[in-house]
């Protein structure tokens, strides 16, 4: 039983890594190398897949109990979260058009910095001085990595840092909005409600900002049918990211999740460099390593503070 449980966990973690890194690399390939320059439409495809597959997983397969929305106020809160959520995903996808995955991941590693800032501003939550001290290498590392990045692009960097801030803002906002008794939703149910709302936001944005994208995609498909398969696989993987994240959180310890999460970004960087062969500098890699060290120290400091009486 223990052996089968161990293999199940290994398979789960492998699926988590594969879906996370796979969707990131395929996004990069589509938006940069393949030349499919429609990040809003791509995000809309992701959200449509998340809507459909979330419904299948919860309503049909009963993977988790269905949690219902109990009030108009709760729906409004979820809509706010959905808007921030899809903005962060769109921003991340837009940045991949201009930045290599390695630098994108380095910037994304600064999430703890923005989380601490928003937690203080929105919840008046003050961390220990040691926790704030660990954020110095997080920020310093990205500054060093930016200076040493051969493929640095200012617009891509601004969009990427904005998407990272939005991701942190969403996590803090979620903790602030959905705290009342009966309003808390697990991540699977939250995605079930957020994804369709995100689609509703993204449809007009796509029509206005990426005009004729459906006709263009169909024209591309007539020349190369693989684009349809790329979009379908990419969208399914976007849902698998959320599903496997939920399952890994459920079946592993907080410490295991923390270690795996910190390693995942580094693995994505190495694989992306091997596949896309983007130029890297020693300065850039040192900056990224410094940021990762800062993130690990930040996580350790938060864990110790939580354990204090």
The pLDDT value given to residue 215: 95
Give CA–CA dist 244/236, Å, rounded: 12
Report the C-alpha gap between 19 and 293 in whole angstroms.
24
d(CA 81, CA 169): 9
Of the candidates 252, 293, 228, 212, the residue with the CA atom closest to the CA atom of residue 17: 252
- Do residues 305 and 145 make contact, with C-beta atoms less than 8 angstroms apart? no
Check pLDDT > 50 for residue 1: no
Mean pLDDT of 113-123: 88
Give residue-wise pLDDT tens across range 60-71: 999 999 999 988
- pLDDT computed for residue 248 by the predictor: 86
pLDDT one-digit tens code per residue, 135-145 = 999 999 999 99
The residues near 105 (Cβ < 8 Å, ≥ 6 apart) are 265, 268, 269, 272, 288
Please check the confidence at residue 303 and state whether its pLDDT lies above 90. Answer: no
177: closest CA among 112, 90, 83?
Answer: 83
pLDDT of 21-45, one tens digit each? Answer: 999 999 999 999 998 999 999 999 9
More confident residue, 12 or 180: 12
pLDDT at residue 260 tops 60: yes
C-beta atoms surrounding 17 within 10 Å = 18
């Amino acid at each position: 039983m223990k052996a089968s449980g161990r293999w199940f966990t290994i398979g789960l973690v492998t699926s988590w890594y594969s879906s996370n890194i796979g969707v990131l690399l395929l996004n990069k390939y589509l938006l940069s190398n393949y030349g499919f320059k429609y990040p809003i439409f791509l995000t809309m495809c992701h959200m449509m897949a998340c809507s459909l597959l979330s419904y299948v997983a919860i309503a049909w397969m009963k993977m988790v109990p269905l949690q219902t929305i109990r009030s108009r106020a709760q729906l409004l809160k979820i809509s706010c979260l959905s808007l921030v959520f899809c903005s962060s995903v769109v921003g991340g996808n837009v940045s991949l058009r201009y930045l290599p995955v390695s630098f994108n991941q380095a910037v994304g590693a600064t999430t703890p910095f923005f989380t601490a800032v928003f937690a203080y501003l929105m919840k008046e939550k003050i961390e220990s001085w040691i926790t704030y001290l660990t954020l110095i290498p997080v920020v310093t590392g990205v500054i060093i990595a930016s200076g040493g990045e051969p493929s640095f692009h200012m617009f891509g960097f601004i969009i990427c840092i904005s998407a990272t801030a939005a991701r942190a803002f969403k996590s803090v906002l979620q903790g602030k909005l959905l705290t009342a008794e009966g309003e808390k939703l697990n991540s699977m149910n939250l995605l079930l409600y957020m994804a369709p709302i995100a689609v509703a936001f993204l449809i007009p944005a796509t029509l206005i900002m990426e005009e004729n994208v459906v006709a263009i995609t169909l024209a591309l498909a007539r020349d190369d049918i693989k684009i349809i398969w790329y979009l379908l696989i990419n969208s399914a993987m976007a849902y698998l990211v959320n599903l496997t994240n939920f399952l890994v959180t459920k079946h592993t310890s907080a410490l295991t999740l923390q270690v795996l999460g910190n390693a995942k970004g580094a693995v994505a960087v190495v694989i992306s460099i091997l596949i896309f062969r983007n130029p890297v500098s020693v300065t850039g890699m040192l900056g990224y390593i410094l940021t990762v060290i800062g993130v690990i120290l930040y996580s350790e400091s938060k864990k110790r503070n939580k354990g204090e009486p």
